[in-house]
Amino acid sequence: MATRRHAPEALIARSHHDMGGRPAGKVKRVEHEAEDWERRVDALMVLLTGVLDGKRQMTVDELRKNIEALGPQAYDRMSYYERWVISITQTMIQHGVITTDELGRKMEEVKARTEDPCRK
Amino acid sequence: MPQVSKRSGAPSPWPQYPNDLPSEPVRFAPLERVRVRMSAPLGHIRTPFYIRGCSGTIERLCGSFPNPEELAQQRSGLPAQPLYRVRFLQKNVWHGYRGHPADVIEVEIFQHWLEKADTRTRDE
């Protein structure tokens, strides 16, 4: 008779983001003024969830789902609004609002803008 | 046992939340003992890992809301699920808890994650 390599519960362990109660030491409180890009990401979420006009493109639950889908290393490395912007973008790809190809080309375009301000 | 708050003067044990969404029937009442299901499925889950498997007391019904597990997957989340604030003794949640034995933690948990508790297990 074949034996299981893992107990079933070992296959679906606690997700990385679900860290309540894990040993973590003292909380380091670091405050900073929101940067402009962070305010824009926040505003984007307000618009996409239809808070103002009822036209909902996504839910806060999808935002959370796609944040939770980040790999543990990426999750730990990113700041709060970095996680948001990654998740919003992922959600817009999933909904077909933008395509991966459009995003890739736009990112290249923006990068080129900052590398060479004279380039049109 | 810690005092459980109640809405004074309310004719019904349930606080009323105007909400015309189709909703799952409410199954638990304040002061009832419940146990959080010990489960670790996939998807977007709002029930914290640390509280799964613990038993506590219904503190209040918070209302019924579309199920976030479904909302996260581009579905409606209907029928809405009753959401409860559940009160747990800290010493029942954390092994070796060194605080006051009456310390509590309250967690908001959707009804489908709760089952009637065997009052003889893991009780205060």
Backbone angles phi, psi at A32, to 5 degrees: -150, 150
Q: Note whether ipTM > 0.90 here.
A: no
Can you give the pTM of this predicted structure? 0.83
| pLDDT for the residue numbered A1 | 43
B25 — contact with chain A (CB < 8 Å)?
A: no
* Amino acid (1-letter code) at residue A10: A
A17 — contact with chain B (CB < 8 Å)?
A: no
Residue A38 has pLDDT above 90, yes or no: yes
Q: Compute the average pLDDT of residues A72-94.
A: 97
Domains of chain A, with CATH numbers? 35-115 (1.10.472.20)
A24 — contact with chain B (CB < 8 Å)?
A: no
Confirm if B84 and B59 have CB atoms less than 8 A apart: yes
Residues of B in contact with A21 (CB under 8 A): 48-50, 93-94
A8 — contact with chain B (CB < 8 Å)?
A: no
CA distance A3 to chain B (A): 22
Residues of A in contact with B68 (CB under 8 A): 61, 64
DSSP B2: P
CA distance B31 to chain A (A): 26
Strands (E), B1-124: 33-36, 55-65, 81-89, 104-110, 114-116
Residue contact B40–A62, C-beta within 8 A: no
- Rg (Cα) of chain B, in Å, rounded? 15
Q: What is the mean pLDDT of chain B?
A: 86
Q: Where are the domains of chain B?
A: 33-116
Residue A113 has pLDDT above 70, yes or no: yes
**For residue B72, what pLDDT band results from cuts at 50, 70 and 90?**
very high
* CATH for B33-116, options being 3.40.50.20, 3.30.1360.170, 2.60.40.10, 2.30.30.50: 2.30.30.50
Q: Return the higher-pLDDT residue of A51 and A65.
A: A65
Residues A95, B123: Cα–Cα separation, whole Å: 46
Give me the total of CB pairs closer than 8 Å, taking one residue from chain A and one from chain B: 42
Confirm if B110 and B46 have CB atoms less than 8 A apart: yes
CA distance A68 to chain B (A): 8
